[in-house]
Structure formats: C-alpha cells, structure tokens
Homo-oligomer: A and B are copies of this chain.
Amino acid sequence: MPTPEAEVLSVNEAFYAAFSRRDIEAMEALWSTRLEIACVHPGWDALVGRREVLHSWRAILGSPEAPEVECTAAVAHVIGEVAYVVCNEVLPGAELCATNVFVREAGNWRLVHHHAGPVASRMEEPQRKAPAKVLN
C-alpha cells in the first residue's frame, strides 16, 4: 500500500505531466469537482472558482508557447484528507517554487489550489528581505 504522501506526490506528478503534454482533459480531471478551487499563476492575481481556473488552464495549455515543466524537490505534507505539496518547477530558462493543495475525494487526491512564483535568481529585485541575506 502506498503511503498517503506517495499517493499525493503521484497526483502532483500527474499535474506536471498534464502541463508538459498540454493535455487539457487530463488537467481538468485533476481538479476537485466538489470544492471551490483557486489558482495563482506566476505574477498574477488569484483566480477563484472552477470556471475561471479551468479557463486559465485551457488558455495556457492551448498556447503553442506553453513551456514544458519539470517538477523537482517535491515534498508532500498530509493532514488527514487534505494535503499540500511544495516543489520546484523547472522551465526552460526559469525556476519557480509552487504550493499545490489537494483534497481526497472518493478515494482520489484532487487539486483545490495551485500557487507558483519565481525563485529569486530569476527576479530583478526581491521584494522582501530574504532569510539568507539577513543571516549572511
């Protein structure tokens, strides 16, 4: 039997596989149908609600410019029927850090929230004093 953490990481991988394959159907199937969902694409305000979130994914995955994304350093934190994964997203020429929140629905982990933002080395000016800088 896989642990809940392994189950969640597997669904997290499926999310990035759907992204990289630009597979809109697989992407839609990964999101919760029972709960309100939310999404923060890098650099943009939050989207709330199934219609708005899936609309954004259809637009992103339908674009010929959609990048391939590799997920690395994923760590799953399971709290009962809810879980979140923190991972890095490696794109051509860029690296992001993401938080993905999942809920277990009828035995399957489904996404309820995705938030991705850039890692400092790719940013012009970090906006908050970062720990490593404060400490060094």
Q: Which A residues form the contact surface with B (CB < 8 A)? A: 35-36, 38, 40-48, 55-56, 59-60, 62-63, 65-67, 73, 75, 77, 79-82, 84, 86, 88, 91, 94, 96-97, 99, 101, 103, 112-113, 115-120, 122-132, 134-135
Q: Describe A's contact surface by its main secondary structure.
A: mixed
User: Which residues of B are found within 8 Å of A66, using beta-carbon distances?
Assistant: 129
Q: Is the CB of A127 within 8 A of B134?
A: no
Q: Is the CB of A38 within 8 A of B75?
A: yes
10 closest residue pairs by CB, A with B: A117-B117, A43-B120, A56-B131, A94-B127, A82-B82, A124-B124, A59-B134, A43-B126, A99-B115, A46-B86
